[in-house]
Amino acid sequence: MNTLYALRAGSLKAVFDDASGYERVLGFRFPGTVIGLAESGNSVWTRTFIALEDTWLCRIPLPGIGDDALQRQLIRLMGERLRSECDTHLMLAVNDGSRKVVTFLVEISASFSALGLSAYRLHLPMHYLDIASYLGMRHESVSRTLTKLQNRGFLRRKGRHIVILDFDALCQVRNE
Amino acid sequence: MNTLYALRAGSLKAVFDDASGYERVLGFRFPGTVIGLAESGNSVWTRTFIALEDTWLCRIPLPGIGDDALQRQLIRLMGERLRSECDTHLMLAVNDGSRKVVTFLVEISASFSALGLSAYRLHLPMHYLDIASYLGMRHESVSRTLTKLQNRGFLRRKGRHIVILDFDALCQVRNE
DNA sequence: CGGGCGGTTGATAGGCATCAAGGTACGTGG
DNA sequence: CCACGTACCTTGATGCCTATCAACCGCCCG
């Protein structure tokens, strides 16, 4: 089995290194999550993790064979991750910029909230290029979409600093 | 832990039942795969599986706590599934119809090949509506894209019957 | 002060969604 | 056996959204 890491502080992006040298973002990780689940049962790392800020990782000691409680825990975590990947699939398949960006914001908001941070005052640690890569858009479109949401009064923003003004309205956008 | 099933024959689609009653396809399953991995460690089924043809499922007996070999096997399978979900993410994020359809075809071809079927003579068990939902497109666009690939001489088709004429050229489309 | 990175905004073109209208295959009932 | 209906696929016309290219701006840092 491969090595697992617990993310204690900071944030990461999981990227796939394209053959053309272009990196494509698969997801973002915040404290409290386990890094390396997709490599479980595989000795090779299929993705790269890049820190978005000063970050504290903690190697998880794997006692090897026979630790039943740990294995059950691992299975539970991987199930959760698989279900969240399903959500990601749904988000990407809608093929509509506004919905993708809003879903991303709500997702980030939930992550921040779970960390005890504000769910409405978001300081995004990743660049627009990363967000765009993750959502299957261009960074210009991400910017424009956020501008539109701001003009509708749902949020206020300045670059990567976003303040959600009407959370319910944002959620509503996903059903338009 | 939830129940797992082995798919012995036939094929399934995994769908998410939208609140609006509209179903959205998350993936397709062929013989040799385990059904229900994403629900591991969770007692609730978060997705629905629908048979695309006459299908043979086999319940996997879960002896419960303490079966080390089975748990390790399960972790390995879940890791594989997570990695394949990453591939799906990459496919959806390219945001280009031709590439999505081609990636889908190559994926299906590999699945069929693994079953001992022809990798080039594909009888798709799913409707175009399902493919479109899976790829985040409209079924009209799937049809048009396949027509275009046919006009370029890469394949021959009639509805759900597709014959791949130039596999390498198809793969090449993904890098255009 | 100057350079570079990251973000914003504008103009344009192309691809896909959308709506609409056939077409084809298949099953059903007269 | 054929008319009919339905489900699914195909093709056409049109408009919108977003990619693309380009210019500019603000900020940070050397």
Q: Provide the CATH number for the domain around residue B5.
A: 2.60.120.10
Question: Does residue B63 carry a pLDDT above 70?
Answer: no
Domain boundary (A62, A93, A124) is at A93
Q: Which pLDDT score is estimated for A20?
A: 74
Q: How far apart are CA A68 and CA B74, in angstroms?
A: 13
Measured to protein CB atoms, the chain C nucleotides within 7 Å are: 6-11, 15-20
Picking from A73, A93, A113, the residue at the C-terminal end of a domain is A93
pLDDT at B95: 80
Q: Are residues A85 and A106 in the same domain?
A: no
Interface probe, candidates B17, B85, B135, B142, chain A, greatest A C-beta count within 10 A: B85
Round to whole Å and give the CA distance between B123 and B158: 10
Length of chain A: 176
Same domain, B43 and B122: no
Within 13 Å and on the Cβ side, how many CA atoms surround B46?
Answer: 17
A75 in the same domain as A49: yes
Residues A6 and A88 in one domain: yes
Instruction: Tell me the average pLDDT across B95-109.
Output: 95
Q: How confident is the model at residue B51 (pLDDT cuts 50, 70, 90)?
A: very high
Determine the residue type at A54: D
Same domain, B121 and B176: yes
Q: Which residues of B touch A93 (CB under 8 A)?
A: 24, 92, 133-136
A129 and A58 fall within a common domain: no
Mean pLDDT of chain B: 92
Tokens of A48: 């790269």
A124 and A172, same domain (yes or no): yes
- Nucleotides of chain D in contact with protein CB (under 7 A) are 8-13, 17-22
**B55 and B88: one domain?**
yes
Condensed to tens digits (0 to 9), the pLDDT of residues A37-66 reads 999 877 788 899 999 999 999 998 876 655
Domain that holds residue A11: 1-93
What's the total number of domains in chain A?
2
Show residues of chain A in contact with B85, CB under 8 Å: 38, 82, 85, 89
**What pLDDT, on a 0 to 100 scale, did the predictor assign at position A65?**
56
Which residue, of A68, A93, A118, is where some domain finishes? A93
Residues of chain A with pLDDT under 50: none
> pLDDT confidence of B65, banded at 50, 70, 90?
low
* Local confidence band at B41 (pLDDT 50, 70, 90 cut-offs): confident
Beginning with the edge strand found earlier in the chain, give each strand of the sheet holding A4-9 in spatial order. Answer: A34-35, A4-9, A56-60
Do B100 and B13 lie in one domain? The reply is no
Torsion of CA B159, B11, B81, B63, to 10 degrees: 180
What is the rounded CA–CA span in Å between residue B89 and residue A24? 10
Task: Enumerate the residues of chain A whose CB falls inside 8 A of the CB of residue B19.
Answer: 175
The pLDDT, as a whole number, for residue A45 is 87
Residues B111-127: tens digit of each pLDDT: 999 999 999 999 999 99
**Domain check: are A112 and A75 in the same one?**
no
B75 and B141 both lie in a single domain? no
- Quick check: A24 and B80 CB within 8 A? no
> What is the reported pLDDT for A1?
61
Q: What is the mean pLDDT of residues B33-55?
A: 91
CA distance linking residue A15 with residue A29, whole number of Å: 11
Question: Are residue B7 and residue B73 in the same domain, yes or no?
Answer: yes
**CATH number of the domain that residue B121 is part of:** 1.10.10.10
Residue nearest to nucleotide D8 (CA to C1'): B127
CA distances from B50 to A70, A89, B32 (A): 33, 18, 17
pLDDT at B66 over 70: no
Q: Which residue is nearest to nucleotide D26 (CA to C1')?
A: A159
